[in-house]
Chain A
Amino acid sequence: MTKGWRIFTSSLRLLALVATLTATIIMVTSHDSAEVLNLTFKAKYSNESAFKYFVIAEAVASGYSLIALFVSSKSLLWRLVVILDVIITILLTSSVSAALAIAHVGKKGNSHAGWLPICGQVPKFCNQVTGSLIAAFIAAIVYLVLILYSLRTVLSPLITV
C-alpha cells in the first residue's frame, strides 16, 4: 500500500463524494411550474418514484464515500470497504439508469404508450434533471475506476505487474 496509491484512491473518493452530493442537491432543488390553458402544471422531483430512488441512492453513496475516506488501508476494515465499494457501485449505476429511463420518456415521450414529452412545458426542471444525471454518471464512472483500482492493491503483494 504505497502512499501514491493511497493519495490516488482518496482523491477518487473525494471526487465521487463531490459528484454524488452535487447530483443529490441539484435533483432535490429541481422544480418548475407552467400554466397551460388555465391549468397549473407543477413538476417536482418527488412526483416520480424513479427520481426519489435516485436521490436516496445518491445520498447513501455520498455518505458512504465520506466514511470510507477515513478508513485506513492498514486496518482490517479495508477488505469490507472493497466489497462495499462494489455494492455502492451497483446502487449508483441502477439509480442513474432508472432516472435516465424516466427522463428519456419525459424528454422524448413514448408514442406507443401515448405518453407526451413534458420538457417543452417545464424546461428549467428538465435542465436541472439533466445536470444532476451528468453528475451522477461521473460518480458512477469514478466508482467503477475505484473498484478496479482496489483489485490492483489486493494483487500487488502477490505479483510484480
Chain B
Amino acid sequence: MAPQDGRKPEVGDFISTPSAKQPKDWVLLLLRLLAFMATASATIVMALNKETKTLVVATIGNNPVKVTLTAKFQHTPAFVFFVIANGMASFHNWLMIVMEIHGHRIDYKGLRLAVIAILDMMTVVLASGGDGAATFMAELGKNGNSHARWNKICDKFDTFCDHGSGALIASFIGLVILLIINVKSITKLIKPNPAGNIGLLP
C-alpha cells in the first residue's frame, strides 16, 4: 500500500499490513488445481512416450531380416517443445496455487493482481504454442502426406500414437481452463473486488 505521508517506498512496504484480509477465491483455486493436473499429466504422459517395435524389412533366403525401430518423443522437436511448454505451464499453476493458499500477505505496492494476470497471459500463450505444434505433428504422423511422400507412422506404432493423443487431449483441456483462469484474473483487475479493496486506495 502507498505510504500515507508521501515518503519514498521502503523495504517495509513489501509485506503489506493485513488491513483488508482477502477472502480466498475457491472457484479460482479449484480451476488452477484442475489446470495443474491437466498440464502435469500431459507433460508426464508425453515425456514417457516410447515404443519399440521389431519389424521385418526383407527376407533373404529363408531368414527374415529384422530391424528394431524405436519411436520416442525426442525425435520430433514439436513434441519436445510440447513437453517443455506444458511443464512450464504446470509449474506456473503450482506456483499460483501455493501463492493463493499461503502467500496472501506478499504484495508489492498492490501489483500482485497485475503480476498474476501478466504471468497467466504468458503461460497461456506458451501452452497454446506447444499445443499447436504437437497437434499438427501428430496429425502428420497419423495421416501422412502423400504430396510430400511422407508415410504415416501410426499404423506401426499405435501405442505411441495413442499415448500422444491422450497427452494432447489433456493439454487442450488444460489450455481451456488456463484461458478461463486468465479471463477471470483480468476481470478481477478491471473490476476490483468490492468486498475488500485491492489494498491501494487509502
Contacts and interface: CB of A to CB of B under 8 A. Distances in A.
Nearest to B182: A86
Contacts of B136: 49-50, 53, 98, 101-102
A151 B147 contact: no
Contacts of A113: 75-76, 141, 150-151, 153
Nearest to A117: B148
Contacts, number: 123
A95 B128 CA distance: 9
Interface in B155-194: 175, 179, 182-183, 186-187, 189-190, 192
B124 interface: yes
Interface residues of B, number: 48
A25 interface: no
Nearest to B76: A110
Given A158-B110, A158-B200, A148 B133 contact: no
B118 A93 contact: no
Nearest to B135: A98
Interface residues of A, number: 43
B186 A159 contact: no
Contacts of B186: 82-83, 86, 151, 154
Interface string B75-87: 1111001000000
Interface of B: 71-72, 75-78, 81, 109-111, 114, 117-118, 121, 124-126, 128-137, 139-141, 145, 147-151, 153, 175, 179, 182-183, 186-187, 189-190, 192, 198, 200
5 contacts: A50-B139, A86-B179, A94-B128, A94-B129, A110-B76
Name the 4 nearest CB pairs between A and B, nearest first: A94-B132, A101-B78, A50-B136, A101-B133
